[in-house]
Amino acid sequence: MSEQLKVCLAASAGGHLSQLRRVASAWSGHQTCWITTTEVVRASLGENGNVYVVGECNRQHPFRVIATLVLCLRAICREKPDVVISTGAAAGCLAAVFGRLAGAKVVWLDSITNVHRLSLSGRLTRPFANLVLVQWPALARKYRGVEYVGAVV
Amino acid sequence: MIFLTVGTQFPFDRLVRAVDDCCGALELNEEVFAQIGDSTYAPRHFEAASSLDKETFDRHVQEASAVIGHAGMGTITMALDHGKPLLAMPRLKKYGEVVNDHQVALAEEFEALGHILVAHDADELARKLTQLKSFTPKRRAASVDAVAERVRCFVQSVERNRGK
């Protein structure tokens, strides 16, 4: 029997997080930690390992991006995950990229809201990801190495 | 009762006003209750709350004969889970209703699959309201298990290769 892995689950609060939680059976039996964006959801994740709240950020707020970046980096350095799984958005992208640079394997599950094109965070994460899943069949045909196996909603 | 919900992140006055105008023009002769978030437009023809706790929100969904909402994934999922007909209006970036136009493609895709009805503007909303009552949403067969299994296989492969 091999040792448990440390799996870091990263998703913005709201739709991204709810899509990620739907595939929770994927990491059962392993240690987890969470990276998310608002305190409101902390309690609902609390029993499943450390929760890091890194704040909402987007392109409109460059300073907040820096704060989120630092908090994500700190979380990854502290947890040293073996695997990072994310549905996005910006915070998930940062966690995935830092995770990969720190030696983790990265799974990117692009949100179902992206129908004709990978999300911006998905496009940024793709070169760092070991597995990229999309939730629309046409999207998988559009990008090399991107898989469609189904949709979570 | 028709339940109108616009989410809580940004105002969506365009939708609240469109529904209000339909009520005023008697194109909609059913009671409406609305959750309007930060919208500043005050509806004249129905009762509205800024936000609702989860329990109250769910009760309104259950009691509603149909739902009108923005085309957010949360709203679409909620309507499908409850088997309620949904008429969705995508938020648009050009009106400052959202940060990008992802709701348009999402709404159109779900409408093409028979899951929801979509109105892009007030005129289309008025037209489609008449269809909403007789609209039976096609149930969505999500494939959560297939996705979870694919991710689980990946995690297992990492586990097997560790230390090699």
Task: Enter the ipTM.
Answer: 0.96
Q: Which residue has the higher pLDDT, A47 or A145?
A: A145
H or E stretch including A9? strand A6-11
| Cβ–Cβ < 8 Å for A149, B150 | yes
Query: What pLDDT digit, counting tens, does each position of B35-76 carry?
Result: 998 899 999 999 999 989 889 999 999 999 999 999 998 899
Chain B nearest-CA distance from A77, in A, is 19
Q: Would you say residue A58 has pLDDT above 80?
A: no
Q: Return the structure tokens found at B134.
A: 């007789």
Determine the pLDDT at residue B8. Answer: 77
Q: With contacts defined as CB-CB under 8 Å, which chain A residues touch B142?
A: 150-153
My answer on whether omega of the bond before A89 falls inside 30° of 0, hence cis, is yes
Alpha carbon separation from A47 to A19, A31, B11 (Å, rounded)? 19, 11, 34
Chain B nearest-CA distance from A125, in A, is 17
Which CATH homologous superfamily contains domain B2-161? Glycogen Phosphorylase B; (3.40.50.2000)
Helices A62-79 and A90-101 cross at an angle (nearest 10°) of 40
Interface test with A, best of B147, B159, B162 (most A CBs within 10 A): B147
Cα torsion A32, A37, A39, A41 to 10°: value is -60
Which of A5, A23, A152 is the closest to B158 by Cβ? A5
- Domains of chain A (ranges, CATH numbers): 6-148 (3.40.50.2000)
Alpha carbon separation from B65 to A91, A117, B5, B51, B80 (Å, rounded)? 38, 34, 14, 20, 13
The mean of the pLDDT values for chain B is: 93
Query: What pLDDT digit, counting tens, does each position of B84-132 carry?
Result: 999 999 999 999 998 889 999 999 999 999 999 999 999 999 999 999 9
Interchain CB distance below 8 Å, A30 and B72: no
How far apart are alpha carbons A9 and B120 in whole angstroms? 36
Q: With contacts defined as CB-CB under 8 Å, which chain A residues touch B147?
A: 22-23, 109, 133, 135, 149-152
Query: What pLDDT digit, counting tens, does each position of A101-140 carry?
Result: 999 999 999 999 999 999 999 999 999 999 999 999 999 9
Residue given tokens 């297939």 in the structure block: B146
Q: With contacts defined as CB-CB under 8 Å, which chain B residues touch A89?
A: none
Q: Which residue has the higher pLDDT, A133 or B8?
A: A133
Chain B within 8 Å of A14 (Cβ-Cβ)? yes
Q: With contacts defined as CB-CB under 8 Å, which chain A residues touch B74?
A: 14-15, 18
Q: The pTM is what?
A: 0.89
How far apart are alpha carbons A25 and B145 in whole angstroms? 9
